[in-house]
A and B are shown apart, each in its own frame.
Chain A
Amino acid sequence: MKQLSLMIDLERCIGCKTCIVACRNYHELVDYEGAMPNQIPYYLRVESKREGTYPDLSLTTWVVPCLHCIKAPCVEACQANAITKDLETGIVRIDAEKCLGSKDCIEACPYDVIQFNEKENFAHKCDMCFDRIHAGEIPVCAEVCLTNAITFGERELLKQRAVDDGRNVVKAMSTQSILYIR
C-alpha cells in the first residue's frame, strides 16, 4: 500500500496558524482585495484541548488537514465520481472539473474539512500539495511550520521513525492517514 501522510507532533504544535495562511497563499484561496474575516476558505484548522483546574493545567493544540481517509466517505458520497483516492499516493483528490456542486461530500465528511466555492460551484480541499510532492517538494504546511511540528512522508516510515525515537502515536487521533504523536 502507498500512503503519504503528515505527522503532527502534539509536543511541538503551538497553534500559531502559520500553516493555515501559508497554505491559503499557495493554493490561492484568498481574494486579497475583498476578503473579510470569517469568510475565507481554509484547508487546515487548529483545534485544542484544555484540561485541569487552576493552577494545574494543560493545553494541547494541533492542526487538522484533510485526513485522506482509508475508506473515504466523500469518495463514496460523490455521485459525479469527482473524488478519488489516488492509488499512487493515497491522497484523496477532488476533480473540480467533474464536480457538479451537490455538496454531498461535505455532508458525508466526518471531519468537516471540505470547502465549497459558491461562485464557481465546486468543492475543494487539502490535496497534500499534490503538485508539489511530484516535483520533490514537501507540502507547504510542513515546509513553513514555525516549530517543525509537521513532518511529511510515507505513513509507515513516519510511524516507524516516531516509534524509533521513543514517541507514541496517539491512536485515537490517528485512525485515518494522518498521524498524531506525542
Chain B
Amino acid sequence: MKKTGWIPTACYQCKAECAVLVRVEDGKIKEIRGNPRHGGKACVKAMAGISLEYAQDRLTYPLKRVGKRGEGKFERISWDEALEIITTKLKALKDRGEAHKLTANFFPHSITDPKWRFLNAYGGFINTALPHCDSAKIVAFIKTMGGVPNHHIPPAWLAVPKDGMMILVGRHAFGGMDDATIPRDVLDAKGRGAKLVVIDPLFTADAAKADWWIPIKPSGDTAFFLGMIHHIIANDLYDKEFVNDWVREGDFDKLRAYIADKTPEAMSKICDVPAATIKKLAEDCAKAPSVGVDSFKGIMLGRALDFGHAWTIFLAITGNIDNPGGQPLPDVTPLAPVEPVPQGPDLHELGWHRTGPDKETFAKYSFIMEPTWYESQAIKNGDLKVLIAAEANPALTEMGQEEWQKAVCMPGENGEYQLELLVTYEIMPSETSRYADIVLPDKSYFERWELLYMPWWYNFGQGIILRQPVVEAPGECRHSNEVFIEIGKRLTPEYFQFKDDVAYYDIQLAGLGLSVEKLQEMGGVWSPGTMGFRKYKKRGGFGTPSKKLHLYWEDLEEMNQALPRPGLASEYGVDEDKYPFILVSYRSIFHAGAGQWTHNNPQLRDRVSGLYENPILVNRTAAEKIGIDDGDVVTLSSRTGRVKVRAKVTERIRPDCIGILHGFGSTVGRVASMGEGVSDNILIPDAGSALEWQDVVGGEAHVSCRVQIEK
C-alpha cells in the first residue's frame, strides 16, 4: 500500500481535527497542508505531525506490566494474550452485574464513535475529560436554546460584518483549538472594520491583536456580563423585536427584576473592571450589527455554568443567536443509524459514582457525557473497576494528578488492586501507561480510518471529514476502534454484526447516499456548503420545550441557579492570607493539553519552532514586592501541592495572578521529559477533596486555585 501524492485526511494533533492534505512519497510522509476544500489552513502542530509519525518512541507491540503499578516495568506479549486478559476481565465484571464499573476515557471523534458504541452495548460509562473543558458552556446552551451538544461551537468569525464585535473571554482563539482558519478569519474581520475585544487576566497572543484588552479578575466574567446586561436593559438598549419574538414569555421580566441591583458599579467591585468599561462595552455591543462571544478558560476558571448562563442571556437580549457574526446553532448530519442501536446504561440508576456517595449533591447534574467525572474518586468509592484509556492521559490531566496516581495504586481485595484492570492505548508511552496493566500500540491518525461527524464544523456547520490511512502503521499497531469492535464481537455480538470499522462507517454514510469509497473519491469531506442563519425561524422555534429561549431555569431554582450568580469562584474565597495569588492556566498554539502528540514532539518543544518549557508568569510589580527576579527558581505552593519552577517576570498578567501554561510536566518520553516543565495539576486540588468548589450542576471542574510563591 505504498502511496504517493497529496492525500486528504484529518489532523489529530488537537481536538479541532482540521481537514488536511498529506504529501506522501513512496509510503513516507513529506509535507502537510490545510485542505482547501475545508478552509485551507493547518497550524504548526499539524505541520509537526510528521515528527510524531516517525518518533523513536512509537510503541509497536502490546505490553504487559511485570512490576508494580507505576514502576514502569513491562514485557512484550501477543495481541491474543492481551485481548484474552481484557475480555476475560470484562466478561467477569459483566457476569457479576457490574458492567457499569467499566469506564473508557477517550475523546469521541464523533457521536457514533465505535468506542462509544461498545460502551453503550456493554453497559460501561465514558469519561471524555470534557468537564475539564467546556461542559458548562454546552449545558448552558442546551438549557437556553435547546439543540444538540457539541464541544466547540465558536462564533463563525468568517461571517462577522463590518463594525461587528468579536469578544474573547478567556479564549485563546489564536491557539487554533477550534479550527486552524480562525486566526485568519478573526484578522480578516478586523480588516473589514470589526472590533476585537479580549477579556482575560493574561495579555495573550489574541490580546496583542485586540482593539481592547480588559484584564479581569479570574471568574469575574459572570459579574462583568451581568453588569452589561443591567446597563443594556436599564437604558433600553436591548433588541426588543428579538426578545418579544423569541424569549419565552415571562423570562425577560424575571431577568429585569433580578438584574435591578446588578449595576455596573456593583459588578465592578466583583470583577475588578471599572464600571465605565462595563458600560462602554455594553453600549458598543448594543449598537453593533453583530456580537460573537467565545470563551474557554473564562468558563474553566470557576462558576462555569453561571457564566455560560450570563453569556447566553447576553446573546439573547442583543439578538445575536444564529445570525452572521453571532452564536451559531449546530445542526445534525443525516447519517443512518447502525441497527440495533445500543441504549447504554441507565445514568440515573447506575451512574452515581462520579465524585462521592452523596447522591443528592449530584441530583441536578445535567451533563450527559460524564458519568465518571473523577476517576480517582470513583476508584476510592469502589465504583470504578476497569479503566480503559485511549488517546487520554489522566495521570497528568486529572486535577490533583497525584491523587489519581495514588488511587490507581490502591490495594483492593485478594491481592488485586482496587482498580482491577487498567488498559491504555498509546501511540507513544505516556505518564498514564506507566500505571497500566496492559499497554496497547495504537495507530496514529495517519494510519487509520475514522468518520469524523460533528453537529458543528467551523467552516460549514455540520458535516463529515474522512480520516484515512495515508501510510502503513509500524509493527503490530492496531487502532483502538478496531480493537473495541473486536472485543464487542466477542462480548456483545448482536451489536457488532458488521465486518469492521470501514463497514460500520459505510452503513452510516448510506444515510447521505455515500460510502467510504465515494467520500474518498470526493476528496474526503462532505458538508452542505453553508452553515445557514436563523435556522430556528424555518423550524418554528428553538429546540427547547417552549420553542423559545429559556433565560430562566426553573429546574435550578432550589440550587439558587435559576439566574446567574455574580460571585467569584468559591476557591478564591478561602486561604487568601496563606495563598495570595490566583493560578491562571493558559494555552498556546504549540501544545494541546498534556498529550504526547505535542509534548513528545521535538519540533513543538524546540525553542525556535515551539515551546520548550513553561516558566510561570509573575507580574513585575508583584515580583518586586516579594523580591523575585526574572529567571529565579521559586517554590509555588497551593493547599495540596508544591512545585519548583522558574519565574518569568512580565507585564502581561494581572498583579494578583500567576500564569502557568497547562500540559507540561511529563516524566515519560524522550522529548516530553526534557526541560523544566511543570504540571499545574499538581497544585490544583482534586475534585473529591474540594467538592464544595465544583460546579456539579454544570459538570464543570475548576482548573485553578490559590497559590503562594516563595523564593
Contacts and interface: CB of A to CB of B under 8 A. Distances in A.
Nearest to A140: B31
A21 B44 contact: yes
Nearest to B603: A21
A59 B602 contact: no
A106 B606 CA distance: 22
B183 A147 contact: yes
Interface string B324-355: 00000000000000000000000000000000
Contacts of A158: none
Contacts of B653: 54
Contacts of B55: 32-33
A16 interface: yes
B607 interface: yes
A21 B610 CA distance: 9
Given A17-B590, A146-B183, A32 B51 contact: yes
Nearest to A35: B602
Contacts of A38: 606-608, 612
B43 A18 contact: yes
Contacts of A55: 203, 213, 215
Contacts of B670: 36
Contact of B651 (A40, A42, A57, A143): A57
A46 B606 CA distance: 12
Contacts, number: 139
A16 B652 contact: no
B76 interface: no
B651 A37 contact: no
Given A16-B174, A40-B609, A146-B41, A22 B47 contact: yes
B608 A16 contact: no
A26 interface: yes
Given A40-B602, A146-B41, A148-B184, A14 B51 contact: no
A162 to B, nearest CB: 14
Interface string B38-75: 00011110011011011110000000000000000000
Interface size class of B (residues with CB under 8 A): 35 or more
B655 interface: yes
Contact of A32 (B32, B53, B184, B655): B53
A36 B41 CA distance: 27
Contact of B31 (A22, A40, A42): A22
A61 B47 CA distance: 20
Contacts of A46: 608
B44 A20 contact: yes
Nearest to B33: A144
Between B50, B208, B675, the greatest number of chain A beta carbons within 10 A of the residue's beta carbon is seen for B208
B652 A57 contact: yes
A53 B624 CA distance: 14
A12 to B, nearest CB: 5
A25 interface: yes
A90 B648 CA distance: 42
A54 B619 CA distance: 8
Nearest to A25: B31
Interface string A20-60: 11101110101011111110101001100010111101111
A101 interface: no
27 contacts: A11-B209, A14-B205, A14-B209, A16-B589, A17-B608, A18-B47, A22-B31, A25-B30, A33-B54, A35-B602, A37-B674, A40-B603, A40-B606, A40-B608, A46-B608, A54-B215, A54-B619, A54-B621, A54-B652, A57-B207, A59-B203, A61-B205, A143-B33, A144-B33, A144-B41, A146-B41, A146-B184
Interface of B: 30-34, 41-44, 47-48, 50-51, 53-56, 174, 176, 180, 183-184, 187, 203, 205, 207-209, 213, 215, 589-590, 602-603, 605-610, 612, 619-621, 650-655, 670-671, 674-675
Instruction: Return the 5 tightest CB-CB contacts between A and B, nearest first.
Output: A32-B54, A21-B47, A59-B208, A37-B605, A18-B44
